[in-house]
Amino acid sequence: MKSSYLGGTFTPAGTSLCLKRMGYGTMQLPGPHVWGPPRDREAALEVLRDAIAIGANHIDTAEFYGPGTSNQLIREALSPYPDDLTIITKVGFVRGQDASWTPDHTPDGLKRAVHENLASLGLETLDVVNLRLGGPNSPDDRSVLQPLQALIELQHQGVIRHIGLSNVTPTQFAEAKSVAKIVCVQNQYNLVKRDDDDFIDSLAAEGVAYVPFFPLGGFSPLQSSLLSQVAEEVGATPKQVALAWLLQRSPNILVIAGTSSPVHLRENFAASDLVLSDTQVAKLNSVSGQVD
């Protein structure tokens, strides 16, 4: 049985964006630790071209992936860009020579990062820029108003079309939307890490896209006997079931599972063909907080 999730779209309220539910994230294209050139440059370029050929019309990236690696690969593989392609980037971190990740939410740092993304992607305007806050994996409780103001200024200049947030709390989102139109939130969320359940529902009610990072567990891959059991029932891999569960979780969820392998890319996108029964979804819901 075929589903319509891949062909289905989500349009954030107040925008003309028409984003397919399955997109592609580029974090795995650079070398180990998201640093340096890819292990296989031709395979990386192939993955990007295949993602568009399969049907993705939005790509998640950042200048600090590499740094510069993901953006340069996107430009080489896809420029001149398809008219319907939305490139979503993020700012808020810089990389040290030791591959470390250092927050930089100063106005000058954020503006510099936006212009670095423009240069490496070969664009005059960025479709969506996510302000990345918090630590490497979890939000903090800082005010978003000062760093957000830098992006608002660039938006008024026409350098940024839309603004999103990454790694934020509901309180920070509420603060941000009081001064800017926020079109998407990108937080850590997957079958096991479900802290944002209520947040997702409230964003859906407001027409805001929710984009889970680490949808397959990130550096700690998802493992569960229940997940494996459902995968066996539907004749798919556990990873495919985990992605299908996300697509069925809420209509405002956009999946950007990343990979550097053309084979794995197609396996990920095949998850959109899975339809999980109510019983299977209930079984998977009970996985939350449990790993084997």
Q: Give Cα 56 distance to the centre of its chain.
A: 13
Q: Give Cα 275 distance to the centre of its chain.
A: 22
Please name the helix (run of DSSP H) or strand (run of DSSP E) that holds residue 163, with its range, or none.
strand 160-166
What is the β-pairing status of strands 58-60 and 24-25? parallel
> Which residues face 158 on adjacent strands?
none
Contacts of residue 82, defined as CB under 8 A and 6 or more positions apart, other chains included, come to: 52, 57
210 is catalytic: no
Catalytic pick from 65, 81, 189, 210? Answer: 65
Q: Which two tokens stand for residue 172?
A: 């920070």
CA distance to 62, 106, 251, 286, per residue, from 30 (Å): 11, 26, 31, 35
Please name the helix (run of DSSP H) or strand (run of DSSP E) that holds residue 5, with its range, or none.
none
Gyration radius of the chain's alpha carbons? 18
User: Other C-beta atoms within 10 Å of 49: how many?
Assistant: 13
Catalytic residues: 65
